[in-house]
Chains A and B, each alone.
Chain A
Amino acid sequence: MDLTSVYRAEYGRCVATLTRLLGDIGLAEEAVQDAFAVAMEKWAQPGEEVPRNPGAWIVTTARNRALDRLRRESTREARHAQALLLHQPEETEEVGPVRDDQLRLIFTCCHPALSPLAQTALTLRLLGGLEVPEIARAYLAPEATISQRIVRAKKKIRDAGIPYRVPAEAELPRRLPPVLTVLYLIFNEGYTATTGPLLRTDLSAEAVRLARALADLMPDEPEVLGLLALLLLTEARRPARTAPSGEIVTLAEQDRTLWDRELIAEGHELVRRCLRRDRPGPYQIQAAINAVHTDGPASDWTQVLALYDQLMVLTPTPIVALNRAVAVAEVHGPAVALAAVEELDIPGYHLLPATRADLLARLGRTDEAVAAYTEAITLATNDTERTFLETRRADLASGRCRS
């Protein structure tokens, strides 16, 4: 395993554990970065290799480096952090990152005293190990804004005394929704990476892992189960989502035998559990939509549309309206769907012109479709998606479009 993938996989876990050990996110990040710098040098030596449990090595090294650094400093924070570190029982063997630490950190990052944008940016940075440009892309926001939000959020956590713990049961109803939003975003970043290749499996896997941990911790929260089901049912289709050559395959054209039946079964079981609880929420409905898509040989679009209608009542956002329009096209035809799409305005979002292009093409309005594809291509930042859109546009232009 090369160091970049070790970094990607272990960064968040190590920062979470070091935050508990040091009592401060900034110090934890510094310590983990220090440890990675040491690792980079050490593991590149001839005869050396990446240890079997690199996370444990990083945590132990980061802890020791932090202690050395704190002993040299004499600020109030340093003394406080040193006291915390020394309070930890002396461990004789290497200690790996602790799963609960990540849950603690995610609740801290998603604290309601932070702005929604800061919550997600911070979680993606600290737990997902994403770099600022990637987060900016995911949010359609300038890099400077994101970087400023992260700095400010870390400062507020420290200054305002936002605690590092999983909230008490009574606090959960209002503490949970931002956590779910953030996990969903991390998953999406992994599913449609903003830069580079389309599938950033590690991020999606990370989101699924965190969602599973959350479902373990809160088995009675239907929206947690709904989110997990949504992620699993989306993840299940990953193997069919790109062709061997790398290009995107649409849902209708996917080879369903490639879908992960185990994940689908698990997702369907979760959706059934949610239905029994009868406390519907946005994630449960989206999971149900994906359950319909993964049930049987073809999607039942009437059922999908009915679920989108429900979703629009709970979360009437332009993105939901756009997705609903795709279902409308299947049930009532592209003309009705196009009318709905043309009312929408989602600045910077390439899937709006891409959807419009597809509907226009199906209506035989080729010139307008080509123009809409061009608009979508300009907005798309992911290479694979751009190639997909370019192929569609070229097919249209040469008159080989599907009817």
Chain B
Amino acid sequence: MHYLMSVELDQSGPRPTEAEQERNFARVGAVNDEMKAQGIWVFAGGLLPYDSATVVRVQDGTTTMTDGPFAETKEQLAGFWVIEVEDLDAALGWAEKCAEACEAPIEVRPFDGLA
């Protein structure tokens, strides 16, 4: 099964220092390497902060674009993994590693289907 593991971070506070960020990258990189070695890694990526987001809406043939994310909540999507594993237990095991690496909670959701 394919699972999306997403991490939401509070990006309203001070940005992490460069040293913190590097440590973070190193930890997440190690998890990614492990996933690839196990053959369960499908795709992963980190996102730039939410102030870089734009929302596009089409309503009655009219397109509007607004600056910013869907909702101005404190916690915003910061990155995600897509993995392919046997079952939820396997996904939860990986989510634990990701949560440790990011020092943030991970939401695990199964895909309904893949294009």
Binding site for B on A (CB under 8 A): 111, 113, 159-163, 167, 171
The reply to whether B89 and A163 contact each other, CB–CB distance below 8 Å, is: yes
B83 smallest CB distance to A (angstroms): 12
What would 17 more interface pairs be, CB under 8 Å, given A162-B89, A167-B89? A111-B88, A113-B92, A159-B110, A160-B88, A160-B108, A160-B109, A160-B110, A161-B1, A161-B3, A161-B86, A161-B87, A161-B88, A161-B91, A161-B110, A163-B86, A163-B87, A163-B89
B73 smallest CB distance to A (angstroms): 24
- Cα–Cα, bound, A162→B109 (Å): 12
A119 smallest CB distance to B (angstroms): 14
B90: nearest chain-A partner, CB-CB: A163
- Cα–Cα, bound, A171→B93 (Å): 10
Interface centre among B88, B109, B110 (most CB of A within 10 A): B88
Binding site for A on B (CB under 8 A): 1, 3, 86-89, 91-92, 108-110
Would you list 17 pairs from A and B whose C-beta atoms are within 8 A, ordered by A residue? Answer: A111-B88, A113-B88, A113-B92, A160-B88, A160-B108, A160-B109, A160-B110, A161-B1, A161-B3, A161-B86, A161-B87, A161-B88, A161-B91, A163-B86, A163-B89, A167-B89, A171-B89
Secondary structure dominating the interface of B: mixed
B65 smallest CB distance to A (angstroms): 34
A167 smallest CB distance to B (angstroms): 7
A80 smallest CB distance to B (angstroms): 12
A360 smallest CB distance to B (angstroms): 49
Instruction: Please give, as numbers and ranges, the residues of chain A lying within 8 Å of B89 by CB-CB distance.
Output: 162-163, 167, 171
B2: nearest chain-A partner, CB-CB: A161
Secondary structure dominating the interface of A: loop
- Cα–Cα, bound, A161→B86 (Å): 8
Instruction: Please give, as numbers and ranges, the residues of chain B lying within 8 Å of A162 by CB-CB distance.
Output: 87-89
B104 smallest CB distance to A (angstroms): 19
Top 10 nearest A-B pairs (CB, nearest first) are: A163-B87, A161-B87, A161-B1, A161-B88, A162-B88, A160-B88, A160-B110, A163-B89, A161-B110, A159-B110
A168: nearest chain-B partner, CB-CB: B89
- Cα–Cα, bound, A160→B91 (Å): 10
- Cα–Cα, bound, A65→B114 (Å): 32
A164: nearest chain-B partner, CB-CB: B87
Instruction: Please give, as numbers and ranges, the residues of chain B lying within 8 Å of A167 by CB-CB distance.
Output: 89
B111 smallest CB distance to A (angstroms): 10
- Cα–Cα, bound, A113→B87 (Å): 12
- Cα–Cα, bound, A395→B89 (Å): 57
Interface centre among B86, B89, B91 (most CB of A within 10 A): B89
Instruction: Please give, as numbers and ranges, the residues of chain A lying within 8 Å of B109 by CB-CB distance.
Output: 160
- Cα–Cα, bound, A252→B110 (Å): 55
- Cα–Cα, bound, A159→B113 (Å): 11
Instruction: Please give, as numbers and ranges, the residues of chain A lying within 8 Å of B3 by CB-CB distance.
Output: 161
A399 smallest CB distance to B (angstroms): 63
- Cα–Cα, bound, A167→B1 (Å): 19
- Cα–Cα, bound, A111→B108 (Å): 15
Residue in contact with A163 in the complex, picked from B88, B108, B110, CB distance below 8 Å? B88
B91 smallest CB distance to A (angstroms): 7
- Cα–Cα, bound, A111→B87 (Å): 13
- Cα–Cα, bound, A113→B3 (Å): 14
B100 smallest CB distance to A (angstroms): 16
- Cα–Cα, bound, A159→B3 (Å): 11
Instruction: Please give, as numbers and ranges, the residues of chain B lying within 8 Å of A161 by CB-CB distance.
Output: 1, 3, 86-88, 91, 110
